[in-house]
Structure 1
Amino acid sequence: MKLSFWEINSWFTGVDYTIVGSGIVGLHTALRLRERFPESKILVLEKGPMPQGASTKNAGFACFGSLSEIIDDLKNHTEEEVTALIQKRWNGLQLLRKRLGDAAIDFKPHGGYEIFPEEDTSGFEECLRRMPFVNEVLRPLFRNDVFSKETDRFGFKGTHEYLIFNPYEGQIDTGSMMQALLKEVAANNIQILNCQTVTAYHEKADGVEVALGDFSFTTKNLLFATNGFASAITNGAVKPARAQVLITEPIPNLDIRGTFHIDRGYYYFRNYGDRILFGGARNLDFDGETTTEFAETELIQNRLEQLLREMILPGTNVAIAHRWSGIMGMGSHKNPIVEQLSSHVYCGVRLGGMGIAIGSLIGQELADLVE
Structure 2
Amino acid sequence: MTKRNLWVFAGVISLSTVVLVGCSSKTNAAAGNGTTNKQGNANGTTTNQKNAKTQQTQNTTKSNSPTPYTVYKNKRFGFTVRIPTTYKKSPPPQDGDGASWTSSNAVKITAYGQYNVQNDTVASAFSKLVTKNHPSYKIEGKDWLVVSGINQSNQIYYTKMYIGKSKEYVLKILYPKSQKSQDASLVTAVANSFQPGPIQPADSYSTYTNQAYHFSLKYPSKWTQGPTPANGSGRLFYVSTNHSSFSNMASSLGLPAHDAVIQVVGTHNPTNVTYASVKNRPSGQGIVSYKVSKVSNGYEIQETQKKGNGLWYTIQLFNKNYFNTLTVIIPSNSGYYKGIAQSVIQSYTLTP
Larger Rg belongs to: 2
Q: TM-score, normalised by structure 2?
A: 0.27
Greater share of residues in strand: 2
User: More helix by proportion, 1 or 2?
Assistant: 1
Structure number with the bigger relative contact order (C-alpha 8 A, sep ≥ 6) is 1
